[in-house]
Structure 1
Amino acid sequence: MDNTKVVGLVVGALLVALSVLMLVPILAELVANSGDWQAFLGSAVITGFVGGALMLANQTEDRDLGHRATFLVTVLSWLSVGAFSALPFALSRVGMSYPDAFFEAMSGFTTTGATVMTGLDMTPPGLLLWRSLLQWVGGIGIIVTAVAILPFLRVGGMQLFRTESTDRSDKVLPRPGQIAVAIGEVYLLLTLLCALAYMLAGMLPFDALNHAMTTVATAGYSTHDASFAHFDSAVIEWIAIVFMISGAVPLVLYVHTARGTGETLWGDPQVRGFLVILASVSIVMALWLAARGDYSFFTALRYTAFNVTSIVTTTGFASTDYTAWGSFAVMAFLFLMFIGGCTGSTSGGMKIFRLQVLAMLLRTQIRQTLYPHVAQTLRYGNRTVSRDIVFSVALFVFVYLASMVVVAMALAAFGLDFITALSSAITSIANVGPGLGPIVGPAGNFAPLPDGAKIVMALAMLLGRLELLTVLVMFSKDYWRE
């Protein structure tokens, strides 16, 4: 193996940083005088001690990660942070079991948004802030991973979007570290603008801050059991739509747009395809609801635009129980859960560009059948798509769907019914949030599920967030062979 001491050093450093982050909710607890600050202090001490011990035990002068160690440090970092992030939930006066706490923490850090918690309106503010912080950090964490690590590992065709490989971006941001810092600045700015917009629309400052973090992170945790239905405000919902979309497009494009280098937001074929899907599905579904007589067209458009955007961006907010709209809507939302946002964004899912590459492949194969002697070239925007990328995308989609089948079968083994098991598997791998059906749908949550099913789902969330192959490669014998 490569330098495994560096792996322990990196994981330890991340746990120390996590222990510092755990001190932030203490301020909310002290301000609200709710008396649950001891849970965060105890969690910070435990996490900091373990992280510091790992750092001391893995000191080394050679701090270069090898190719294979990069996989290991990525998986162990996310798994460790998720495991220790569960401590405040388990130690708080809410009294969650560790399986529930691990599920909640992993759902937060992977920005899935599925929850086992009820009574959020009465939950201590420190714990609500901790949930939002986990999602906010997880949102920027996957972007940094996607921009700086995953393209080099050739995961699912993501090498197509190695922004440092083009001449223009080389002249502006030559290193992944610089790109990550610029993206972080954009991420923070979007969060602040979202919080300000929410407050101007009538949200209380604490609600606005929490929802801004989970909106831009396309994550979905709310401070209320009813999610956005609690506010029942069209203005707030349209603000959420704008910022969910903002978080679901490639954040590096904001940097290029601001600097006048590379592609602009609208010039990117991913973004165009993403917006076309959102607009088309929202309008069609609104027309269908209006024709049924459920709502007027504009009221229907408000509900469909919000919930379609929430599902496609894998945010997971809900403004109404869309499963009550009939079987057509349920089937539509089931398929929407597969899509996801854009690569290099905070959203999960299969990603728009993979669907576009597959559509191009289908079109090319049809043309090749009609004109067998004409050479066909795949182009994505202004890039030529190589056969390696097409193969990588096709393989990813196959593994993506196969993983959902495996997870669904595992959940069914715990006694879950068909729609609950299937939608729970999809929402875990795609990091969407709510499932379908009366138990895990937008009007329910995942608390009634057995502990074993929650652990399976939590690991599936990590699997989906790290783009599958990053995790699955570690189960290969060749990976561990000298």
Structure 2
Amino acid sequence: MENQDVIERSRWAADRRNLVIFPIGWLLIVIALAEMLLVLVSLAFLDGETLVFLASAMGTFALGLAIIITFTPKRYGMDFRQAVLFVTAAWLVVPLVAAVPLMLSPDGLSFADAYFETVSAITTTGSTVMSGLDEQPETILLWRSIMQWVGGIGIIGMALVIFPFLRLGGMQLFKLESSDRSEKLFYRSGQLAGAIFGVYVLITIGCILAYRFGGMRWFDAINHAFTTVCTGGFSTHDASMGYFDNPVIFWAATFFMAASGVPFLTYVRLARRSQFSSRMETQVFGFLTFLGIVVLSIAIWLVVVDEIPFETALTQSAFNVVSVVTTTGYATQDYLAWGTPVAGMFFLLTFVGGCTGSTAGGIKIFRFQVLVRMVGQMVMRQSFPHAVVVPRYGTRILQDDEVASVCVFVFLYFATWLGVSLLLQLVGVDPVTALSGSITAISNVGPGIGPIIGPAGNFASLPDAAKWILSLAMIIGRLEIMTVFVLLVPAFYR
């Protein structure tokens, strides 16, 4: 009887393990199918990458099939711990497989460079080690863009399903304020996922058309739409969006970057309720207000200090501010040359991020809103000791555990930033590049500050050890920091 119990426990443990590994096999099958699509694209462009993607697709498909066959669970249905383990494993493993075409290409990257590039793509960070993009094969450029676009929808899924239930970092505020439960928009998670994916696709199509009518050729329009809607920032040109030098394209990009920094669930709610004022979430209002203030401030600076015409200053300010705040990472020019105060402002903007439930990274607007409310509460208590001050977020009263979780998250965010920057300095990176590179990786922004990794440079010259550290930092940032710390707690596995 005792042996039977041991066997049952062993089977149970194996089944729980299989539930984590089995879905990764299906992810690899999806990657293989995407690579097969790229085979057709390569044949159309005759860019010499056909065999590269064919071999990658066959190998990826075989590996995915082997995982599915080997780790098929006896029963289905993940619990929360398995979901967290699966998501973390997926963000580590998928870039390994997706990097293969970049290594097999005739002008292939090293393993460290290829993994860095694919992690940057799938986490929608936008940092790159690749140069000479204008001469790169079309298939390679499209592969980078597709990886970012697919990574974007994965990020939205995590924000909606997994992160709020951690009850860490204040994510439960987002769940309570704009979830399908509170609004009863959908009764099945599949309906919610389908609606959000539909919005994601529609915004992408709108962005493609806007870029095309703005003057881009179809190939550039498709690539840039993919990397705009996911707030990723990969471009088909070394000069990024500055290559086009077209205000119409700049404003189209600004609009769609800002739109992608808003929770995609908000669009679903608007479509079903058709009442913008009643559906405007607290964080959305704060996000748009913040963008307007910063854009106007920098535009005025450019007019007064650099004597730039207001229309041009507003265009450049709006594009680059929205790009950094939404963690897209496009650039029209080297905004660090606008002056030291502006450069410092852009460095601070890398911390901010967009709204929860969007594809943007960063600390997120709603956490700053909670912190501002808590500061206001403390000031009121100091000024009026006997007053009863109740902090609110929107129409809700903030609970102590929600406030505490936001404070803990922000502390760990800055601690992780300093820890990663220290590791970068230990492997030979200068302090400015280390501090800038670490925060741009954790916030999933893309370009950093300084002559090496600024908007006019890239990450190719960094040592391989630094690229591995930054790759891990990008994944940690995309997993909202807390997920990784939870995995380090032994009690999580009991």
Residues 226-305 of structure 1 correspond to what in structure 2 (within 5 A)?
A: 226-260=239-273, 267-305=280-318
Structure 2 residue corresponding to 1:333, chosen from 324, 335, 346: 346
TM-score normalised to structure 1 length: 0.96
Matched-pair contact (CA < 8 Å) for 2:240–2:330: yes
Matched-pair contact (CA < 8 Å) for 2:180–2:186: no
Higher mean displacement: 394-403 or 265-274:
265-274
Kindly indicate whether residue 79 of structure 2 is the aligned counterpart of residue 66 of structure 1: yes
CA distance in 1, matches of 2:375, 2:180: 27
Structure 2 residue corresponding to 1:407, chosen from 420, 437, 448: 420
CA distance in 2, matches of 1:455, 1:294: 43
| Deviation for aligned residue 1:62 | 1.8
CA distance in 1, matches of 2:187, 2:277: 18
Structure 1 residue corresponding to 2:149, chosen from 126, 131, 136: 136
Residues 55-454 of structure 1 correspond to what in structure 2 (within 5 A)?
A: 55-162=68-175, 169-170=183-184, 172-260=185-273, 267-454=280-467
One-letter amino acid of the counterpart of residue 244, structure 2: F
Matched-pair contact (CA < 8 Å) for 2:247–2:315: yes
Determine helix, strand or coil for the equivalent of 2:56.
helix
| Deviation for aligned residue 1:283 | 1.2
CA distance in 2, matches of 1:93, 1:149: 40
| Deviation for aligned residue 1:167 | 6.2
Q: Which runs of 5+ in 2 are unaligned?
A: 1-12
- Relative distance call for 1:382 and 1:287 in structure 2 (3 A) is same
Matched-pair contact (CA < 8 Å) for 2:262–2:355: yes
Q: Which runs of 5+ in 1 are unaligned?
A: none
1:257-283 deviations in Å (ceiling 9; x for gaps): 000078758721211111111111111
Determine helix, strand or coil for the equivalent of 2:452.
helix
Determine helix, strand or coil for the equivalent of 1:439.
coil
CA distance in 2, matches of 1:399, 1:460: 13
How many residues were matched structurally? 480
1:411-464 deviations in Å (ceiling 9; x for gaps): 111211111111100100000000011110000000000011001101100000
Higher mean displacement: 417-426 or 40-49:
40-49
One-letter amino acid of the counterpart of residue 192, structure 1: I
CA distance in 1, matches of 2:275, 2:67: 41
Residues 3-18 of structure 1 correspond to what in structure 2 (within 5 A)?
A: 3-18=16-31
| Same amino acid, percent of matched pairs | 46
Q: CA RMSD in A?
A: 1.6
Kindly indicate whether residue 23 of structure 2 is the aligned counterpart of residue 24 of structure 1: no
CA distance in 2, matches of 1:265, 1:51: 46
Matched-pair contact (CA < 8 Å) for 2:266–2:279: no
- Relative distance call for 1:478 and 1:262 in structure 2 (3 A) is farther
| Deviation for aligned residue 1:319 | 0.1
CA distance in 2, matches of 1:167, 1:471: 27
Determine helix, strand or coil for the equivalent of 1:225.
coil
1:174-193 deviations in Å (ceiling 9; x for gaps): 23332221110000000000
| Deviation for aligned residue 1:297 | 1.8
Matched-pair contact (CA < 8 Å) for 2:424–2:466: yes
Structure 1 residue corresponding to 2:483, chosen from 451, 460, 470: 470
- Relative distance call for 1:97 and 1:197 in structure 2 (3 A) is same
1:293-324 deviations in Å (ceiling 9; x for gaps): 35222211111111001000000000000111
One-letter amino acid of the counterpart of residue 97, structure 1: S
CA distance in 2, matches of 1:312, 1:386: 28
One-letter amino acid of the counterpart of residue 270, structure 2: T
One-letter amino acid of the counterpart of residue 329, structure 1: V
Matched-pair contact (CA < 8 Å) for 2:269–2:279: no
CA distance in 1, matches of 2:427, 2:462: 9
Matched-pair contact (CA < 8 Å) for 1:169–1:261: no
| Deviation for aligned residue 1:347 | 0.5
Matched-pair contact (CA < 8 Å) for 2:25–2:64: yes
One-letter amino acid of the counterpart of residue 9, structure 1: F
| Deviation for aligned residue 1:68 | 1.8
Matched-pair contact (CA < 8 Å) for 1:423–1:435: yes
Determine helix, strand or coil for the equivalent of 1:132.
helix
Matched-pair contact (CA < 8 Å) for 1:30–1:37: yes
- Relative distance call for 1:168 and 1:454 in structure 2 (3 A) is closer
CA distance in 2, matches of 1:18, 1:244: 26
Determine helix, strand or coil for the equivalent of 2:451.
helix
- Relative distance call for 1:166 and 1:447 in structure 2 (3 A) is closer
